[in-house]
Amino acid sequence: MAEASPILSLKSVRKMFGAHAAVDSIDLDIAEGEFFTIVGPSGSGKTTMLRMLAGMDTPTSGDILLRGERINDLPANKRPTCMVFQSLALFPHRTVGQNIEFPLKIRGEVPESRKARALQLMDLLRLPQSYYAKNVLKCSGGERQRVALARALAYDPQILFFDEPLSAIDYKLRKTLEKELKDIHRETKKTFVYITHSLEEAMVMSDRIGVMRAGKLVQVGTPHQIYSAPNTRFVSEFVGDVNVLPVSLDTDGRLHSRLTGARLKPPPVPEGFSEGHLVIRPEFLRFLAKAADADNAVSGRLYNEYVLGSRIQYQVRVGEGVFAVEKLRQQAFTGKLDDDVIIGWDAKDAILVTD
Amino acid sequence: MRLSQGGKSAIPVVLFLIVGFAAPLLAVIWFSFMPPRSFSFGGAPTLENYATIFQGTNYISFLWSLSLAVTAVALLALVCYPVAYGLVRVFGKWAMLLTLLFTIPLFVSENIRLYGWVLFLIKNGVLLGTLKSMFGLQLESILFSLPAIILGMVYVYLPFMLFPMTLGISMVPNETRDAAFDLGASRWQVFKEVELPLSMPGVVIGFLLTFVLAIGAIAEAKVLGGQRVIPITHDIEIAFTYSQNWPLGAALSVLLMLVVGVLVLLALRRFDLDTFLGRR
Amino acid sequence: MANSSKISRRNFMQQSALWAAAFAGAGSVLPGQAFAAREKELNILCWEGYNSAQVLDPFRTSKGATVKAESLTNDPTMINRLRAGETNVWDLINVNNPWARKVMHPEKLIKPLDRGRFEPFFGSMMPEFKAPYKWAMDEAGAELLGMAQRFGPYSYVVNTDKISRAAAEDQGWNLWNDPANAGKYGILESDDWNVFNICLIAGFDPFKVHSDDEVAKFTETAKRVFKGAKVVGDIATMNQSLIAGEIDFHMTGGTYSASPARADGHPEIRGITPKSGPMAGGKGGVAWIEITSTVNNPELSPLAADFLEYVQAPDIAHTVAFAEGTFNPVAQMGNPDCFKLFTAEQLDAIQWDSLAEEMGRCAEYDIVPDYDKLLDIMSAAKREASAG
């Protein structure tokens, strides 16, 4: 993905707060025009990383390069980058127009050209022209998002950073705005670096995703790679509900599940694997008429079912363990609660991770 | 018509406000229309007291009070904004201690503190005495002069400007500051475009508070100014004491209230707090 | 307690008068418990000293009484408090000499004393207070209106390190007519006395009705004198400024104001009575004598007379002379039993050495018939002086 010369490079970037490394030796290249998302739970260091990229914090060690130029000590107001904040940080004492024009005013542009540019950006972001003189606090949540983005675009940055701007927005609007943002990315052809704690959100928009945990990037890849080939249990769990079985490799090449006592047929086993977790996504599990209908099968009892829109999730209790099974609504399981069931999966659909 | 339960419960408060607030005020207003040097509410109402004031030289005292208050407020703004800014954004853990230091003098009576300044500023006192004995410098004392009065007012009313300003500055969200900086603004532009306007509610409250207090000041001019300047409050005091002309004193008080009231309303109109907070 | 909740008509009237006074006074302090059983209660309106614990506590203890005293620092305010209806509140009023005889008695604000009980006390006072003492009697000479105690000359005070006593006495009120003295003097904020002083500086008797020419002279003099003042302030400010060297002398002052500084180790601060002046007999100084009278209170406390008797005792008279605040001679010093209680330092603080001589050069405080007019002129002059 990053074959073109990277616009932004991080070389062993580290940020210490006292003895604690908030960001720990990160190496990363972000390509020109890429939509790159950093995903991680709170406290994983993603915000600290973004602040360093935007110039509001300086790394303790390592280098940040913008088109090959070291910019570690370049303050935010001198960097050709711009951030959309979590709180949006709109200027409450200014109108929509004044907010959008702010970077242009700072740059000393004349009012007429400022206004023209502001209206143009409002068009791009589907904000009615009549909002130009509207107080920004009178705008709805979604409108404010657009104003914040328009203001950042008015700065004409080479890279746009996003610090979880959609986290406080309700689900439906968030879904709309995620798509809009991806459209804007296409239209502006700028490099977007986005952080979020929701891998789901990241999947919708990103060209590539980096998953952060405790200051480190644990996996970088396309949404597909992250989804289908998580390299750790942590990454796999980040995607959503997954079934995770602690397993060890037996001498006969089968896996032994400590939880269910079952002996399982593994997916391709990595070199030197002896113990780890078997990850099975709920949609790869299916209800079986008989155990032989799949590579692996376990018996349990149907305990409950949850309707998730287009899908239905079933909770199946197997001994001490709990499995989640998902079916599309059209393919709903016909059994009743408390029925004894057999569930199973094919070896190729499971993922074996060490961590 | 019957009062609701809530209405009945409000009666004590309403009575308290009438007795404690409205009644004395109305009494003063009514008294200002009584014949000069009378002591009862029963006289025939007259405008004589107001005529006396408008024909006399009380305007000098009004002007003194106004200009002292305006000067004090302006100096306080200049002194307090940087300090308040420091307390909120620079001094960190020392801010608490400094705030305490600014608060402690409030527990000592104003007059005692002003007499402390007299001892500090007086000829051969703490300041001039020390300068003389340590460096052989012999300077004119500024005690009993206009600068001493203004110094006293700035000193006494400092907390009343400082704390609203501190509150105002601390209300500026960090991210708006960061955002402005990130959008290319210099430190000065961040201050001018974002921090100052967003801290205006605190600043305006500080202005109003100190202005109203300062225009009612009397002790500074008396103690530190040696009565070289007679503010309107001193005129009112003389009317109520040595002159024993209570109606005149009442009329002066009413005029002072009017002047302050009108100025404050004008200021609030000009600097509408809601506008600053972006509520309209 | 049986009648504590009963509100009599009189009580109601008293309350109303108090409210009226409170509203009009706008901030003046009201004495609490002004009306209840009066046998164990005494309210005194006075110059400071009589309100001190040293004076009041022994009386409180011996009588088991609640005694409240409020001190003010000018006579007109106290008189007007009575005029405004507070005769229902106070039992004793302590003001300077002319008020009882010339104002309060004719206006029925005070009650005469029992001559048989009180006149004998004048016998043991200093010779000039022998009965019938003018200021203690009504104009007809029939009624005894009050008792004398503290007194003193009250003209001006100099720092004798800067101006010798002799020079100050010789130059008299012309000290304020010498342009070279501008900026060297202070003015005590006793505006009633300052009216007298401006008259004296202007060269005429204060205690009479003034001609237009004199009023014009007064106006000019007031402006000049206030313009030349370095500081106007209270007694503490005057003494501090004298000691520190901010000023060399100040007007309205005498033993009453200088004694605290003298007692504090500054004998160079001295009250001065000019050798001569424009008043009858060529007198240039003004002296005050306090007269304490019983208020014409419809429910006068019986303790009022008891208190007047109490302060005649030699030890209490000595305490009154040296009560907190200011120190003053007392008429009871004519009694050897009282006089012997004064130490040499105390006598020096009150300038005992020159007291008789100074009193001899003083006219006695009197009513200024056109005081209101002159005070207004003076207040305006003060204001105009501040306009630069």
pLDDT digits (tens, 9 = 90+) for C77-99: 899 899 888 999 999 999 999 99
Q: What residues of chain B lie within 8 A of the CB of C237, using their CB?
A: 118, 223, 226
Please tell me the distance from the alpha carbon of residue A26 to that of residue A49, in angstroms, as a whole number: 9
Write the pLDDT tens digit of every residue in C107-154: 999 999 999 999 999 999 999 999 899 999 999 999 999 999 999 999
The answer to whether C9-150+289-352 and C152-286+365-386 have equal CATH topology is yes
* Cα-Cα-Cα-Cα dihedral sign, residues B239, B240, B245, B247: positive
Write the pLDDT tens digit of every residue in C201-255: 999 999 999 999 999 999 999 999 999 999 999 999 999 999 999 999 999 999 9
Tell me what pLDDT residue B160 has.
95
Please answer yes or no on whether B184 and A87 come within 8 Å at the CB atom.
no
- Please report which residue ranges of C245-343 form alpha helices under DSSP H: 255-263, 303-310, 314-321, 336-339
pLDDT at C28 over 50: no
Chain A neighbours (≥3 Cβ pairs under 8 A) are: B
Please answer yes or no on whether C386 and B229 come within 8 Å at the CB atom.
yes
Q: What is the mean pLDDT of residues A276-303?
A: 91
Tell me what pLDDT residue C37 has.
59
User: What are the domain boundaries of chain C?
Assistant: 9-150+289-352, 152-286+365-386
Shortest alpha-carbon distance between residue B185 and chain A (Å): 6
Residue A216 sits at φ, ψ, to 5 deg, of -115, 155
Write the pLDDT tens digit of every residue in C354-366: 999 999 999 999 9
pLDDT at B3 over 80: no
Which among A290, A224, A276 is positioned nearest to A248, based on CA atoms? A276
Per the CB < 8 A criterion, the answer to whether A305 and A313 are in contact is yes
What residue type is assigned to position B263 of the chain?
L
C-alpha A123, offset from chain centre: 28
Write the pLDDT tens digit of every residue in A80-121: 999 999 999 999 989 999 999 999 999 999 999 999 999 999
B198 touches chain A (CB under 8 A): yes
pLDDT at B205 over 80: yes
Q: What is the mean pLDDT of residues B170-192?
A: 94
Please tell me the distance from the alpha carbon of residue A211 to that of residue A29, in angstroms, as a whole number: 14
pLDDT at C4 over 60: no
* CB within 8 Å of chain C, chain B residues 147-176: none
Adjacent-strand bridge partners of A303: none
B272 touches chain A (CB under 8 A): no
Q: What is the mean pLDDT of residues C56-77?
A: 92
pLDDT at C268 over 50: yes
- In DSSP notation, B54-114 reads HHSSHHHHHHHHHHHHHHHHHHHHHHHHHHHHIIIIISTTHHHHHHHHHHGGGGS-HHHHH
Tell me what pLDDT residue C252 has.
96
Most confident of B193-197, C189-193, C289-293: C289-293
Tell me what pLDDT residue B130 has.
87
- Containing H/E element for A243? strand A243-249
C-alpha A252, offset from chain centre: 39
Closest CB from A54, A93, A152 relative to B197? A93
Per the CB < 8 A criterion, the answer to whether A226 and A212 are in contact is no
Shortest alpha-carbon distance between residue B31 and chain C (Å): 7
Please answer yes or no on whether C189 and B227 come within 8 Å at the CB atom.
yes
Per the CB < 8 A criterion, the answer to whether A33 and A206 are in contact is no
Judged by average pLDDT, the poorest of A39-53, B134-148, C117-131, C145-159 is B134-148
Judged by average pLDDT, the poorest of A249-263, C85-99, C189-203, C287-301 is A249-263
Burial class for C221, CB neighbours closer than 10 Å (0-12, 13-18, 19+) = buried
Per the CB < 8 A criterion, the answer to whether A160 and A153 are in contact is yes
Q: What is the mean pLDDT of residues A47-61?
A: 94
Please tell me the distance from the alpha carbon of residue A31 to that of residue A208, in angstroms, as a whole number: 10
Per the CB < 8 A criterion, the answer to whether B142 and A49 are in contact is no
B188 touches chain A (CB under 8 A): no
B43 touches chain A (CB under 8 A): no
ipTM: 0.84
Helix, strand and coil in chain A, % to nearest 5: 30, 35, 35
Q: What residues of chain C lie within 8 A of the CB of B226, using their CB?
A: 186, 229-233, 237, 241
Model confidence at B276, in pLDDT bands (50, 70, 90)? low
Pairing of strands A340-345, A321-328: unpaired
Q: A262: which residues sit within 8 A by CB, 6+ positions away?
A: A256, A296, A298
Please tell me the distance from the alpha carbon of residue A247 to that of residue B149, in angstroms, as a whole number: 85
B130 touches chain C (CB under 8 A): no
What residue type is assigned to position B168 of the chain?
G
Please answer yes or no on whether A136 and B278 come within 8 Å at the CB atom.
yes
Tokens of C323: 């009560």
B230 touches chain C (CB under 8 A): yes
Fold of C9-150+289-352: D-Maltodextrin-Binding Protein; domain 2 (3.40.190)
Tokens of B87: 């307390």
pLDDT at B263 over 80: yes
Which among C285, C100, C94, C331 is positioned nearest to C193, based on CA atoms? C285
Q: What is the mean pLDDT of residues B107-116?
A: 90
Q: What is the mean pLDDT of residues B29-45?
A: 91
- Please report which residue ranges of chain A form alpha helices under DSSP H: 46-54, 96-106, 111-124, 141-154, 171-188, 199-205, 223-228, 233-239
Tell me what pLDDT residue A215 has.
93
Q: A227: which residues sit within 8 A by CB, 6+ positions away?
A: A203, A239
Adjacent-strand bridge partners of A343: A287, A298
pLDDT at C35 over 70: no
pLDDT at C16 over 50: no
Question: Quick one: closest CA in C to B235, which residue?
Answer: C379
What region does C178 belong to: left with phi over 0, alpha with psi -120 to 50, or beta?
Answer: beta
Question: Quick one: closest CA in B to C191, which residue?
Answer: B242
Please answer yes or no on whether A106 and B185 come within 8 Å at the CB atom.
yes
Residue with tokens 């997916």: A267
Dihedral, CA of residue A285, residue A290, residue A295 and residue A297, to nearest 10: 60
User: Which domains does chain B possess?
Assistant: 58-276 (1.10.3720.10)
Write the pLDDT tens digit of every residue in C308-335: 999 999 999 999 999 988 899 999 999 9
Q: What angle do CA C307, C308, C313 make, to 5 degrees?
A: 90
Please tell me the distance from the alpha carbon of residue B136 to that of residue B133, in angstroms, as a whole number: 6
Pairing of strands C41-46, C92-96: parallel
Fold of C152-286+365-386: D-Maltodextrin-Binding Protein; domain 2 (3.40.190)
Please answer yes or no on whether C245 and B124 come within 8 Å at the CB atom.
yes
Tell me what pLDDT residue B11 has.
87
- Residue that wins the pLDDT comparison between A330 and B156: B156
Tell me what pLDDT residue C26 has.
39
Per the CB < 8 A criterion, the answer to whether A142 and A169 are in contact is yes
Instruction: Return the CATH architecture of domain A6-233.
Output: 3-Layer(aba) Sandwich (3.40)
Centre a 10 Å sphere on the Cβ of residue C117 and count the other Cβ atoms it contains: 12
Q: What residues of chain C lie within 8 A of the CB of B227, using their CB?
A: 187, 189, 229, 231-233, 382, 386
DSSP-assigned letter for residue C359 = H
Whole-number average pLDDT of chain B: 90
Q: What is the mean pLDDT of residues A265-279?
A: 87
Model confidence at B193, in pLDDT bands (50, 70, 90)? very high
Q: Is A350 helix (H, G, I), strand (E, B) or coil?
A: coil
Please answer yes or no on whether A83 and B181 come within 8 Å at the CB atom.
no
Q: What residues of chain B lie within 8 A of the CB of A91, using their CB?
A: 176, 179-180, 193-194, 198
Please tell me the distance from the alpha carbon of residue B119 to that of residue B113, in angstroms, as a whole number: 10
Per the CB < 8 A criterion, the answer to whether C228 and C384 are in contact is no
Question: Quick one: closest CA in C to B144, which residue?
Answer: C231
Q: Is B25 helix (H, G, I), strand (E, B) or coil?
A: helix
Please tell me the distance from the alpha carbon of residue C104 to that of residue C109, in angstroms, as a whole number: 5
Closest CB from B64, B118, B143 relative to C386? B64
Whole-number average pLDDT of chain C: 90
Shortest alpha-carbon distance between residue B190 and chain A (Å): 10
Share of chain A above pLDDT 70, in %: 99
What residue type is assigned to position C127 of the chain?
P
pLDDT at C20 over 70: no
Chains A and C touch (3+ CB pairs under 8 A): no
Between chain A and chain B, how many beta carbons pairs sit less than 8 Å apart?
72
Whole-number average pLDDT of chain A: 91
B171 touches chain A (CB under 8 A): no
Distances (CA, A) of A263 to A247, A291, C312: 9, 13, 117
Residue B206 sits at φ, ψ, to 5 deg, of -60, -45
C-alpha B258, offset from chain centre: 16
- Containing H/E element for A160? strand A159-163
Helices (H) and strands (E) in chain A, counts: 8, 20
Q: What residues of chain C lie within 8 A of the CB of B23, using their CB?
A: 23
DSSP-assigned letter for residue C3 = T
Residue with tokens 């405008």: B47
Tell me what pLDDT residue B165 has.
95
Please answer yes or no on whether A106 and B178 come within 8 Å at the CB atom.
no
Tell me what pLDDT residue A354 has.
82
- In DSSP notation, C140-203 reads TS--B--EEEEEEEEEEEEETTTS-HHHHHHHGGGGGG-GGGTTSEEEES-HHHHHHHHHHHHT
Please answer yes or no on whether C74 and B115 come within 8 Å at the CB atom.
no
Tell me what pLDDT residue C73 has.
85
Please answer yes or no on whether B39 and C375 come within 8 Å at the CB atom.
no
**Cα distance between the two ends of chain A:** 26
Helix, strand and coil in chain C, % to nearest 5: 45, 20, 35
Q: What is the mean pLDDT of residues B6-28?
A: 87
CATH code reported for the domain at A241-353:
2.40.50.100
Selected for mutation to probe chain A from B181, B182, B273 (highest A CB count within 10 Å) is B182
Q: What is the mean pLDDT of residues A134-148?
A: 92
Helix, strand and coil in chain B, % to nearest 5: 75, 0, 25
Question: Quick one: closest CA in B to A105, which residue?
Answer: B185
